[in-house]
């Protein structure tokens, strides 16, 4: 497809590269986490789900510091001065981040202490604080400490022969101040106690000690109460929990190594001991002790976060499973298997036309069954699949192993560099290799992020390709929690395009033109820009024009400029961007016609769907594995695939776009100043997108 650049109009006199037209990526990411925290405050949500959202916001902050903040610190250390599209240098970004992050962390603990703890107590779920233990509870805690904790704790007194210990990334530790001398006459006055990760951070008390309530005690409280027992003959004058967050990005120079798998295996242990980027301490920690810890980790005062509660809120997620209160959780639901997949042979069904799944409302089982039938069908000759995240004990991997052992040609493109899943992917790659599958790790310098499964089968004496393409990973667990689209097709052209992509990934050769699929890093960016320009030209000529796009993140400057030009031409543009958005809507003369909203709820919104009016023809709808980010367009192998069946295209438009544009319960509108405003139903009928889909597909009653 080709399209001319948009014609020149007076509005083009505006410089669309001006920094005020772009929102900073890191600050937008913090705004996303603020919306997650907002769900923890949402009283329409079940109480334990609110706690879960608080934990998610804490986990998100961990990753933000491990990856984003550490990256900015590295830029400063290396002298990188190139500003981002919004004009901020790395140092300026860190300053702005520090202010926003401290405020966000303070709000997390306020929500925990002032909203969730009282609400949980009203439901008989209590956290027993040291100052409120009954004598029986205190006696039970002492026994628990002696029996379960003391044997595995190793207090470390600090002196010239015992330097400050290496602390694992995000591990729970205690710094203890002491008075007196030990058996050797040492009086350094300070020690560190490290809590092994194997220890639970939340311990349930016997029900008879809690008046039939659900009573819990923090591990930190137990250690704090009995830390003196670890230093016999000395007096503990202070005990303060702390946690350090470290740079967790792995660095492997792919141009200088011979074996990526072996290199990553060597790098993984270092993740726990990267450069420190944040220090969290209890709010009662003395300034002298906090300064001492900052010096040990080479951090400044801005890197210190003093918190009123456990330093690792995300460990509270265990409470959701420890408390058997279905009334305080989202109601369970069973993903449905569409009738089209009810036959005994999926290949026969695909011979009749394309099929589609909308997860998590529809089951992931047909994807597994498709691979199972392929592994066991004597007419199937080859299976090719990309694997980005599959989870441990993956049935997908089991079936690929079964197919390889059965003598079929199995090719797996395993992305070893899927962040935080590197170790699991190394293990599954080894399993597949041991079974005789062809395992490759993609292309040097490009992550393979596309979600593709191709089956080559003998059909009526001829070879035919059957395919599955998705917006999400081949992971049965996340398929129950993430919203994603999966397309099954036996379309000859799409099958041929996928064959060419696998040839690129496993072999050598020049790029060949694809006919239906858009592929990064070659045609996806160009294809999206051309389609935006087509809508722009249509609007300027007075013809119908419309763009609706849904994704996780939007930060790629040329795409944003193209959207600004389309807006200037009069194209109505609706963007559903769950997370980071650098585009600034509502700027006079630039983005008046652009509306940006974020929708969040029980399920993680993960689908990428792009709708273009197509100048009076049949609207084009693409689903994709790619967000609109530079890395997705230029440093990854990604695919966008068209939904060509008119019935399926209408379904995708309605369920993934229209419902979300009309959501007035779990939607936030992006304002021109970069903040988000939550949409309220007011006098209107509530229209939660996820709730409506549960009702429509799974038969849930919303009343």
Dist CA 89 CA 111 (whole Å): 32
Bridge-based pairing of strands 125-127 and 214-218 is parallel
Dist CA 237 CA 190 (whole Å): 10
Chain-centroid distance of CA 91 in Å reads: 26
Dist CA 55 CA 333 (whole Å): 23
> Which phi and psi angles does 615 have, rounded to 5°?
50, 45
Residue 237: asked if its preceding bond is cis (omega within 30°), the reply is no
Q: Could you confirm whether 20 is annotated as catalytic?
A: no
584 in a labelled binding site: no
Dist CA 117 CA 126 (whole Å): 7
3-state secondary structure of 468: strand
Q: Is 325 exposed, middle or buried (0-12, 13-18, 19+ CB in 10 A)?
A: middle
Cβ neighbours for 153, distance < 8 A, ≥ 6 positions apart: 193, 194, 195, 196, 223, 230
Dist CA 521 CA 516 (whole Å): 15
474 in a labelled binding site: no
Q: Nearest CA to 476 among 587, 592, 359? A: 359
Bridge-based pairing of strands 546-551 and 572-577 is parallel
33 in a labelled binding site: no
419 in a labelled binding site: yes
The residues pairing with 621 across neighbouring beta strands, listed in sequence order, are: 611
Cβ proximity of 380 and 408 under 8 Å: yes
Cβ proximity of 438 and 413 under 8 Å: no
Give the orientation angle of helix 395-405 with respect to helix 422-434, to 10 degrees: 20
Catalytic pick among 449, 468, 475, 525: 449
Dist CA 219 CA 141 (whole Å): 10
606 in a labelled binding site: yes
Q: Is 106 exposed, middle or buried (0-12, 13-18, 19+ CB in 10 A)?
A: middle
388 in a labelled binding site: no
Cβ neighbours for 310, distance < 8 A, ≥ 6 positions apart: 201, 218, 220, 241, 316
Active site residues: 449
Provide the annotated binding site: 60, 389, 419, 482, 578, 606
Provide the annotated binding site for Mg(2+): 389, 419
């Amino acid at each position: 497809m080709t399209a001319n650049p948009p014609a020149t109009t007076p509005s083009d006199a505006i410089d669309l590269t001006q920094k005020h037209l772009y929102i900073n990526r890191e600050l937008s990411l913090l705004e996303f986490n603020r919306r997650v925290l907002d769900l923890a405050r949402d009283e329409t949500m079940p109480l334990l789900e609110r706690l879960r959202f608080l934990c998610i916001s804490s986990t998100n902050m961990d990753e933000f510091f491990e990856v984003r903040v550490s990256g900015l610190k590295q830029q400063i250390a290396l002298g990188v001065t190139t500003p981002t599209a919004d004009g901020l240098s790395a140092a300026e970004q860190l300053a702005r981040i520090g202010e926003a992050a401290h405020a966000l962390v303070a709000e997390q603990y306020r929500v925990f202490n002032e909203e969730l703890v009282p609400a949980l107590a009203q439901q008989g779920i209590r956290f027993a604080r040291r100052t409120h233990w009954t004598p029986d509870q205190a006696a039970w805690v002492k026994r628990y400490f002696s029996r379960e904790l003391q044997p595995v704790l190793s207090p470390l007194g600090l002196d010239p022969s015992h330097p400050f210990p290496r602390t694992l990334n995000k591990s729970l530790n205690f710094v203890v101040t002491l008075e007196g001398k030990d058996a050797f006459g040492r009086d350094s006055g300070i020690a560190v106690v490290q809590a092994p990760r194997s220890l639970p951070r939340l311990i349930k008390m016997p029900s008879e000690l809690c008046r039939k309530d659900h009573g819990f005690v923090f591990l930190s409280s137990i250690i704090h109460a009995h830390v003196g027992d670890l230093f016999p003959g000395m007096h503990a004058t202070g005990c303060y929990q702390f946690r350090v967050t470290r740079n967790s990005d792995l660095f492997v120079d792919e141009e200088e190594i011979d074996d990526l798998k072996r290199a990553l295996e060597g790098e993984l242990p270092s993740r726990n001991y990267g450069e420190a980027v944040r220090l969290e301490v209890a709010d009662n920690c003395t300034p002298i002790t906090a300064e001492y810890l900052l010096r040990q980790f080479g951090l400044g005062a801005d890197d210190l976060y003093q918190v009123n509660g456990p330093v690792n809120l995300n460990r509270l997620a265990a409470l959701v499973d420890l408390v058997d209160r279905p009334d305080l959780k989202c109601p369970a639901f069973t993903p449905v298997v569409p009738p089209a997949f009810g036959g005994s042979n999926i290949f026969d069904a695909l011979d009749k036309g394309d099929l589609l799944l909308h997860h998590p409302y529809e089951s992931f089982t047909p994807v597994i069954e498709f691979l199972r039938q392929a592994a066991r069908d004597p007419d199937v000759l080859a299976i090719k699949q990309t694997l980005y995240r599959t989870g441990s004990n993956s049935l997908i991997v089991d079936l690929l192993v079964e197919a390889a052992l059965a003598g079929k040609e199995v090719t797996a493109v395993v992305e070893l560099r899927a962040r935080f899943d590197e170790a699991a992917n190394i293990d599954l790659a080894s399993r597949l290799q041991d079974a005789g599958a062809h395992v490759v790790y993609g292309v040097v310098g490009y992550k393979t992020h596309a979600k593709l499964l191709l089956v080559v089968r003998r059909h009526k004496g001829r070879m035919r390709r059957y395919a599955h393409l998705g917006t999400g990973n081949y992971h049965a667990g996340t398929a129950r929690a993430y919203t994603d689209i999966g397309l099954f097709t036996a379309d000859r052209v799409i099958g041929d395009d996928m064959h060419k992509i696998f040839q690129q990934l496993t072999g050598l050769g020049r790029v060949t033109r694809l006919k239906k699929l858009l592929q990064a890093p070659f045609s996806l960016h160009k294809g999206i820009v051309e389609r935006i320009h087509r809508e722009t030209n249509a609007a300027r000529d007075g013809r119908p024009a419309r763009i609706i796009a849904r994704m996780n993140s939007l930060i790629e400057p040329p795409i944003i400029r193209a959207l600004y030009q389309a807006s200037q031409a009069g194209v109505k543009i609706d963007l559903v961007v769950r997370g980071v958005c650098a585009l600034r809507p509502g700027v006079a003369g630039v983005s008046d016609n652009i509306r940006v909203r974020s929708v969040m709820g029980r399920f993680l919104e993960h689908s990428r769907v792009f709708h273009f009016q197509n100048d009076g023809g049949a609207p084009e709808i693409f689903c994709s594995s790619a967000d609109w980010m530079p890395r997705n367009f230029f440093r990854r192998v990604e695919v966008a695939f068209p939904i060509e069946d008119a019935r399926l295209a209408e379904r995708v438009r309605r369920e993934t776009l229209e419902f979300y544009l009309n959501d007035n319960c779990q939607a936030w509108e992006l304002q021109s100043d970069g903040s988000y405003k939550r949409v309220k139903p007011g006098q209107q009928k509530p229209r939660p997108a996820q709730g409506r889909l549960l009702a429509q597909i799974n038969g849930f009653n919303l009343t």
